[in-house]
C-alpha cells in the first residue's frame, strides 16, 4: 500500500470514530461517498466557467469538496475549493484527507453563519453543502428565536434554514447550488422558509426526494436540490425514490443511474425502490411542493372539479391533549389506595387504539384529567374535593411547577398544557393517528380523551343533528379509501420510513369531500352508517367504487 493510501485508511478510521460525536454536537451527518459523487456530478453539469470557485459552508470531513475533485477528474475547469466548519477535529480530518488525495482546499475554522458576513457578495461560482440539521427542539427556543430574527425566518426552524438563506447573496449570477438536506422542507409548513428562498432567488433545476432509500446514515430522509441563480427552467425535474414492499425490481440499473435516467424499480439494500420522474409543481405560497406527472395531474383535476368542500372547510381538525408531563398524567395502572379518584381518570385514546372505522373498546390507558367535564369552557376542578388526586399531584409538584409556561399562561400549576374544552369529549368524534402507513380514521362515541399522538374532529363542529352525523360518515368513507391515499401521495407527500405517512392537520384539511347531496354520496353515507350501526366494520374494498362514484370518477 502506498503512503498516501495508508494515510487515507487511517483518516477514514478516524472519520468513523468521530461521526457519532459530530451528529450529537452539531447535527451533522457526514455524506456517504456515493451520494457525494452524485451531488458533485449534478452540480458540475449546471455550472460553467474558466475556473470554478466552490464553497462548502459546513464541510465536516471534506467529503463533498473531495467528491467535486474526484468527479471533475482534471478534465474540467480548475477548481478552487473553500470549506468552513466550526469543529477543529473535523477540519483536521478534511485537511489530511485532502492532502492524501493531493487536492488543494482552503479551509477555515469558525461558524459560517457568523463568518459569511465577511465574504464578498457573488464571490462563488457554486456552493455544495450538507448543512447541519438541528431542529427547534434541539436548538432550544432562545437560539431558534435569535436565528429566526436574524435571518428573517418564521415558524419552526432547523439549522438548515439560515444556511440556505445565505446562499443567494454568495453566488454569482448563473452560479449553482447543490444542497443535501432533509426532505421535510418539501411538505411541511416550516419548510416554507427554504421553499421561499429557492422560489425567489435560486430557481430549482433538479430536485430529488430520496425518501427511505437508506442512502444516508441517519434517521433524516434526504433530498437533493440543484438550483441556479437567475436561471429559471420552464420544467424543473422532480424525481422521487421510495421503497415499495409490493414491487419487484425491473432493471439492473443502480439507484443513482435510475435517478439520472428514467422511471424504474431498482434493488437497493435488499428492497425494491420505485423511482419516478416528473416535474416540480409549485402549488402556491406556503403550499407543499409536489411532483407533477401527466396521468396524476389529470386525475387530480377531475377530482378537484368534483370536490364540494375540503375537510378543513367543514371541520376543525385538532391535535389531542398535550400534558408536557406524560409520566405524571398518563398510566396504564392507577390501582392502589393512594391512586387519584376515579372520577378524574379518563379513558385515553392513543395511536395504538385506532383502527380504520373504530376505536378499540378496551382502552388500557387513563389520563389524570383535572377538569370539570360539565363546564362549557376549560375549568380545573377544586382539588380540595379530590384529596387523593391532590396528594398525588403534590408528590410531583417540583416537576409540574417547573413548567413555568403553564402558570405564565394563567393556568393552575397542576393543569395540562393543552387540555381542550372538557365538555367537548362527549360528542362523537373522528379520531386518527398522526403517523400510520395506511389511513386509520375511526369513529369514537365513548367520550374518551384523545392523546397528542392523534388528531380528532368533533361532530359538533360539522353541522346540527343528523346532517353532522351523515357528514362524519362521508368523511370516514373518503379518508379510509384508496382515493385518499392517492390524493395524499400526489398532493401532500410527507412519507417517512417504511411507507409511513404523516396524517396531520395541514394535510388532512386538504382532503376532498364530494357533494353530500349526490345520490352516490348518500349511498356511501348510508353504507357506512348502517354497517357501523349493526356493530360491524364497513368493507373498504366494497366502498371503493362508491367513493369514486361520489366524486364522479366512474360512470
User: Which pairs count as long-range contacts for 411-414, CB under 8 Å and 24+ apart, including other chains?
Assistant: 411/380, 412/380, 414/370, 414/380, 414/383
Residue 55 sits in the same domain as residue 103: yes
Contact between 70 and 96 (Cβ < 8 Å): no
Q: What angle do CA 264, 223, 39 make, to 5 degrees?
A: 85
Residue 481 sits in the same domain as residue 411: no
Listed residue (29, 94, 92) closest to 66, CA to CA: 94
And the C-alpha cell for 371? Answer: 377538569
Contact between 175 and 229 (Cβ < 8 Å): yes
And the C-alpha cell for 11? Answer: 483518516
Residue 510 sits in the same domain as residue 489: yes
Q: How distant is the alpha carbon of residue 93 from its chain centre? A: 32
How far apart are alpha carbons 14 and 29 in whole angstroms? 15
Q: At which of 461, 488, 507 does a domain end? A: 461
Residue 305 sits in the same domain as residue 356: no
Residue 309 sits in the same domain as residue 414: no
Residue 311 sits in the same domain as residue 321: no
How far apart are alpha carbons 176 and 318 in whole angstroms? 42
3 state DSSP class of 66: helix
Residue 89 sits in the same domain as residue 221: yes
pLDDT-flagged residues of the chain (< 70) = 1-29, 134-139, 217-218, 555
Residue 58: inside a domain: yes
Listed residue (359, 299, 301, 310) closest to 483, CA to CA: 299
**Cβ-based burial of 405 (10 A; exposed 0-12, middle 13-18, buried ≥19):** exposed
Residue 284: inside a domain: no
* Number of domains the chain contains: 3
How far apart are alpha carbons 497 and 79 in whole angstroms? 37
Residue 104: inside a domain: yes
Residue 289: inside a domain: no
Query: What b-and-e string marks burial along 414-447, b requiring 16 or more CB atoms within 10 Å of the CB?
Result: bbbeebbbbbbbeebbbbbbbebeebbbbbbeee
How far apart are alpha carbons 85 and 114 in whole angstroms? 11
User: pLDDT digits over 383-417, tens only?
Assistant: 999 999 999 999 999 999 999 999 999 999 999 99
Domain assignment of residue 168, given as a range: 3-243
Q: At which of 431, 461, 491 does a domain end? A: 461
User: pLDDT digits over 37-48, tens only?
Assistant: 999 999 999 999
Residue 395 sits in the same domain as residue 485: no
Kindly give the pairing relationship between strand 264-268 and strand 237-243.
unpaired
Q: Which pLDDT value is given to residue 10?
A: 41
Sequence-distant (≥ 6) Cβ neighbours of residue 98 within 8 angstroms: 62, 65, 66, 104, 105, 107
Residue 374 sits in the same domain as residue 467: no
Residue 30 sits in the same domain as residue 178: yes
Residue 253: inside a domain: no
Q: Cα–Cα distances in Å, from 431 out to 110, 448, 458?
A: 48, 11, 9
Amino acid at each position: 500500500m502506498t503512503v498516501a493510501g495508508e494515510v487515507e485508511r487511517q483518516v477514514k478510521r478516524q472519520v468513523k470514530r468521530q461521526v457519532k460525536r459530530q451528529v450529537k454536537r452539531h447535527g451533522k451527518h457526514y455524506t456517504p461517498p456515493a451520494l457525494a459523487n452524485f451531488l458533485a456530478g449534478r452540480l458540475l453539469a449546471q455550472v460553467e466557467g474558466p475556473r470554478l470557485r466552490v464553497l462548502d459552508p459546513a464541510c465536516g470531513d471534506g467529503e463533498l469538496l473531495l467528491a467535486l475533485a474526484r468527479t471533475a477528474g482534471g478534465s474540467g475547469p480548475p477548481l478552487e475549493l473553500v470549506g468552513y466548519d466550526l469543529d477543529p477535529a473535523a477540519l483536521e480530518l478534511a485537511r489530511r484527507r485532502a492532502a492524501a488525495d493531493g487536492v488543494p482546499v482552503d479551509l477555515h475554522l469558525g461558524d459560517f453563519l457568523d463568518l459569511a458576513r465577511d465574504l464578498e457578495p457573488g464571490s462563488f461560482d457554486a456552493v455544495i453543502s450538507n448543512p447541519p440539521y438541528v431542529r427547534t427542539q434541539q436548538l432550544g427556543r432562545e437560539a431558534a428565536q435569535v436565528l429566526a430574527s436574524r435571518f428573517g425566518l418564521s415558524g419552526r426552524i432547523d439549522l438548515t434554514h439560515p444556511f440556505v438563506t445565505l446562499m443567494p447573496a454568495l453566488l454569482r449570477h448563473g452560479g449553482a447550488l447543490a444542497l443535501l438536506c432533509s426532505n421535510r422542507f418539501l411538505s411541511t409548513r416550516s419548510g416554507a422558509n427554504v421553499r421561499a428562498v429557492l422560489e425567489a432567488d435560486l430557481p430549482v433545476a433538479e430536485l430529488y426526494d430520496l425518501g427511505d432509500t437508506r442512502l444516508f446514515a441517519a434517521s433524516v430522509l434526504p433530498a437533493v436540490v440543484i438550483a441556479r441563480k437567475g436561471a429559471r427552467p420552464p420544467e424543473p425535474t422532480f424525481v422521487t425514490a421510495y421503497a415499495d414492499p409490493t414491487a419487484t425490481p425491473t432493471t439492473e440499473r443502480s439507484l443513482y443511474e435510475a435517478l439520472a435516467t428514467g422511471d424504474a424499480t431498482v434493488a437497493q439494500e435488499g428492497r425494491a425502490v420505485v423511482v419516478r420522474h416528473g416535474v416540480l409543481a409549485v402549488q402556491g405560497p406556503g403550499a407543499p411542493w409536489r411532483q407533477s406527472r401527466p396521468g396524476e395531474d389529470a386525475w387530480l383535476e377531475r377530482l378537484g372539479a368534483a370536490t364540494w368542500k375540503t375537510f378543513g372547510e367543514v371541520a376543525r381538525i385538532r391535535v389531542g391533549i398535550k400534558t408536557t408531563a406524560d409520566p405524571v398524567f398518563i398510566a396504564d395502572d392507577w390501582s392502589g389506595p393512594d391512586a387519584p379518584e376515579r372520577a378524574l381518570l379518563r379513558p385515553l385514546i392513543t395511536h395504538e387504539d385506532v383502527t380504520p372505522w373504530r376505536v378499540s373498546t378496551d382502552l388500557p390507558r387513563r389520563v389524570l384529567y383535572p377538569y370539570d367535564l360539565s363546564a362549557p369552557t376549560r375549568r380545573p376542578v377544586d382539588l380540595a374535593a379530590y384529596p387523593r388526586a391532590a396528594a398525588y399531584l403534590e408528590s410531583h409538584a417540583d416537576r409540574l411547577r417547573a413548567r413555568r409556561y403553564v402558570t405564565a399562561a394563567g393556568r393552575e400549576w397542576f393543569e395540562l398544557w393543552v387540555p381542550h374544552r372538557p365538555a367537548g369529549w362527549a360528542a362523537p368524534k373522528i379520531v386518527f393517528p398522526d403517523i400510520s402507513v395506511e389511513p386509520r380514521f375511526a369513529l369514537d362515541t365513548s367520550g374518551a380523551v384523545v392523546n397528542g399522538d392523534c388528531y380528532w374532529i368533533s361532530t359538533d363542529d360539522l353541522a346540527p343533528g343528523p346532517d353532522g352525523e351523515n357528514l362524519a360518515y362521508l368523511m370516514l368513507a373518503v379518508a379510509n379509501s384508496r382515493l385518499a391515499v392517492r390524493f395524499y401521495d400526489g398532493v401532500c407527500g410527507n412519507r417517512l420510513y417504511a411507507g409511513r405517512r404523516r396524517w396531520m392537520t395541514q394535510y388532512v384539511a386538504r382532503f376532498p369531500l364530494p357533494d353530500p347531496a349526490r345520490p352516490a354520496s348518500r349511498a356511501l353515507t348510508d353504507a357506512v352508517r348502517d354497517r357501523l350501526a349493526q356493530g360491524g366494520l364497513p368493507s373498504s374494498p366494497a366502498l371503493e367504487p362508491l367513493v369514486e362514484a361520489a366524486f364522479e370518477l366512474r360512470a
